[in-house]
């Protein structure tokens, strides 16, 4: 008799089936808080060399799974591989974050490639195939991309900015040129996400880290609409594709985001209001989050209380336990062990 494939708790939650013990992973779980990551990172040379060397990218993807036995591995890459595939210059300077050539005038936008060079992204697909071969079948493999708005904030400014002012200004002053950037990212991201599914990803996440700086009208136009087109574009080819959206800081705009985009789950940050989330978000999709990464650094009783709040607020419904944003490099490993133990001891 042919055995059915083993159930992955994270995929079950996304398919509508609450798990008594919520599945658990951490955003940015492969990274500098791990000594074994720092060792591989030092060997790789540049950050993009690490992303584009399948053997090393697969290795750092698996490191947090070996240590903590999370329910999901997220492929090691970056949201800025999309501008790189669009032939923009992308560099990562140590201690300074990303540097790109600013795309901040309509003239410059006129020179933007209309489609990506996917040969450049082939190493990411190869890393996914390697991880899938080595990963326990109960553990989900997550592929990802940045949401067009967040990727555009880096492409326009050429670097990270405190308030994303360059992209916000361009969207007001030159909406047609800005829409061309967004549309190009939408099309490239659809192909990229489909490639990740084909290479073995079980689930996709769309990171909209800077969604929270937009007024409601701009949020609908530049965050919700493009995300919806990505979800539709992926599902046109893979109808049951499981997709998590993370419009960080969206707050009271979350219910509208969920309804319009059609995502299966939504990431919530630690400022989320529990009754709004339960009544207007978790009633239709799963939620993922939302431990404050600073509570994870603090540890002790403060951490236990923060974990228990997340569980008390959301574990009666469909929950994927996670942080409200990425783990920080200074986080002690013992505190992550404390978190895993406490979440796994939950019986709801
Ligand atoms: O979650 C994971 O473990 C997978 C890997 C991953 C990275 N970046 C690796 C990375 C993911 C999912 C991302 C997403 C990403 N990249 C986002 C959205 C999610 C979020 O956390 O807000 C954004 C905005 C970026 C862009 C980016 N990449 C910035 C601003 C920086 C520099 C800031 C920093 O933390 O240094 C990066 C670099 C980066 N991407 C690192 C890692 C592990 C650190 C670089 C290093 O190790 O030298």
For 163, counting Cβ atoms within 10 Å of its Cβ (0-12 exposed, 13-18 middle, 19+ buried), the class is exposed
The number of beta carbons lying within 10 Å of the beta carbon of residue 139 is 22
pLDDT band of residue 257 (cuts 50, 70, 90) is very high
The answer to whether residue 2 is domain-embedded is: no
Q: Which residues contact 251 (CB under 8 A, 6 or more apart)?
A: 212, 271, 272, 273
Query: Any catalytic annotation for residue 43?
Result: no
Could you tell which of 249, 326, 330 is best to mutate to test the pocket of ligand 1, judged by most ligand atoms within 8 Å of the CB? 326
Q: Whose CA is nearest to atom 37 of ligand 1?
A: 97
β-sheet bridge partners, residue 299: none
| CATH code at position 225 | 3.20.20.210
Q: Is residue 78 part of a domain?
A: yes
User: Is there a catalytic annotation at residue 104?
Assistant: no
343 alpha carbon to ligand 1 midpoint, in Å?
Answer: 25
Confidence class of residue 93 from pLDDT cuts 50, 70 and 90?
confident
Distance in angstroms (rounded) separating the CA atoms of residues 303 and 298: 7
Q: Tokens in use for 261?
A: 């985009």
Long-range interactions of 312-317: CB distance < 8 A, separation 24+:
313/274, 313/277, 313/278, 314/274, 314/277, 314/278, 314/282, 314/287, 314/289, 314/290, 315/22, 315/346, 315/348, 316/348, 317/18, 317/278, 317/282, 317/283, 317/286, 317/287
* pLDDT (0 to 100) of residue 3: 73
User: Best mutation site among 24, 26, 28, 160 for ligand 1, i.e. most ligand atoms within 8 A of its Cβ?
Assistant: 28
Question: Would you call 32 a catalytic residue per the annotation?
Answer: yes
The CA-atom distances, in angstroms, between 275 and each of 17, 135, 278 are 21, 37, 5
pTM for this one? 0.96
pLDDT of residue 1: 64
Q: Ligand 1: which atom is nearest the Cα of residue 61?
A: 3
- The number of the ligand 1 atom at minimal distance from the alpha carbon of 246 is 19
Judge whether 204 and 234 are in contact, CB under 8 Å. Answer: yes
Q: Is the residue at 180 inside a domain?
A: yes
CA 84 to ligand 1 center in whole angstroms: 15
Distance, CA 67 to ligand 1 centroid (Å)? 20
Counting atoms of ligand 1 from 1, which one is nearest the CA of 32? 47
- Mean per-residue pLDDT, 93-122: 94
337 lies in a domain? yes
Give the C-alpha separation, 315 to 323, whole Å. 14
Residue 197 forms part of a structural domain? yes
Burial 34-69 (b: 16+ CB within 10 A, else e): beebeebbeebeebbebbbbbebbbbbbbbbbeebe
Rounded CA separation 244/39 (Å): 31
Q: How far is the CA of 82 from the centre of ligand 1 (A)?
A: 13
Q: How far is the CA of 15 from the centre of ligand 1 (A)?
A: 28
Give kind and range of the element (H or E) at residue 154: helix 148-157
Q: How far from each other are the two terminal CA atoms of the chain, in whole angstroms?
A: 34
Model confidence pLDDT, tens digit, residues 310-333 = 999 999 999 999 999 999 999 999
Element containing residue 245 per DSSP (H, E): strand 242-247
> DSSP assignment, residue 240?
T
User: Is residue 142 domain-resident?
Assistant: yes
* pLDDT tens, residue by residue, 199-232: 999 999 999 999 999 999 999 999 999 999 999 9
Residue 28 is among the residues annotated as catalytic for this protein: yes
Of 154, 192, 257, 346, catalytic: 154
The protein residue whose alpha carbon is closest to atom 36 in ligand 1 is: 97
Total domains in the chain come to 1
Contact indicator for 49, 93 with CB cutoff of 8 Å: no
pLDDT tens-digit map of 36-85: 999 999 999 899 999 999 999 999 999 999 999 999 999 999 999 999 99
pLDDT tens digit string along 127-143? 999 999 999 999 999 99
| 154 assigned to active site | yes
CA distance 257 to 110: 30
State the pLDDT confidence band at 299, using cuts at 50, 70 and 90.
Answer: very high
Q: Flag whether 137 is in a domain.
A: yes
Pocket-forming residues, ligand 1, beta carbon under 6 Å: 27-32, 41, 47, 74, 76, 78-80, 92, 97-98, 144, 146, 150, 160, 207, 209, 326
In a domain, 262, yes or no: yes
Question: Which domain covers residue 215, as residue numbers?
Answer: 9-344
Please tell me whether residue 86 adopts helix, strand or coil conformation. Answer: coil
């Amino acid at each position: 008799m042919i055995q059915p494939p083993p159930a992955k708790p994270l995929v079950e939650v996304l398919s509508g089936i609450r798990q008594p013990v919520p599945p658990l992973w951490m955003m940015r779980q492969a990274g500098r808080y791990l000594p074994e990551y720092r060792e591989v990172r030092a060997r790789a040379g540049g950050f993009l060399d690490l992303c584009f060397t399948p053997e090393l990218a697969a290795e750092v993807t698996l490191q947090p799974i070996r240590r903590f036995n999370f329910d999901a591995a997220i492929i090691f890459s970056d949201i800025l591989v999309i501008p790189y595939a669009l032939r923009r210059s992308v560099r990562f300077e140590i201690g300074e974050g990303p540097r790109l050539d600013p795309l901040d005038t309509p003239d410059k936008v006129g020179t933007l490639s209309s489609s990506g060079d996917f040969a450049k992204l082939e190493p990411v697909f190869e890393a996914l195939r390697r991880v899938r071969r080595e990963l326990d079948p109960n553990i989900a493999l997550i592929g990802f991309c940045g949401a067009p708005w967040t990727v555009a904030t880096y492409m326009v400014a050429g670097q990270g900015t405190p308030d994303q002012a360059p992209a916000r200004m361009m969207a007001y002053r030159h909406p047609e040129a800005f829409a061309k950037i967004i549309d190009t990212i939408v099309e490239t991201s659809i192909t990229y996400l489909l490639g990740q599914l084909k290479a073995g990803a079980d689930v996709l996440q769309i990171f909209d880290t800077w969604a929270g700086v937009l007024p409601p009208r701009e949020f609908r136009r530049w965050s919700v609409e493009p995300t919806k087109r990505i979800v539709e574009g992926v599902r046109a080819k893979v109808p049951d594709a499981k997709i998590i959206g993370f419009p960080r800081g969206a707050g009271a705009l979350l219910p509208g985001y969920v309804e319009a985009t059609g995502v299966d789950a939504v990431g919530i940050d630690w400022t989320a209001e529990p009754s709004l989330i339960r009544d207007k978000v978790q009633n239709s999709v799963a939620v993922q989050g939302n431990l404050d990464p600073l509570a994870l650094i603090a540890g002790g009783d403060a951490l236990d209380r923060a974990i228990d709040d997340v569980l008390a607020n959301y574990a009666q419904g469909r929950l994927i336990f996670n942080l409200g944003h990425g783990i920080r490099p200074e986080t002690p490993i013992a505190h992550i062990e404390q978190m895993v133990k406490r979440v796994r001891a939950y019986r709801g």
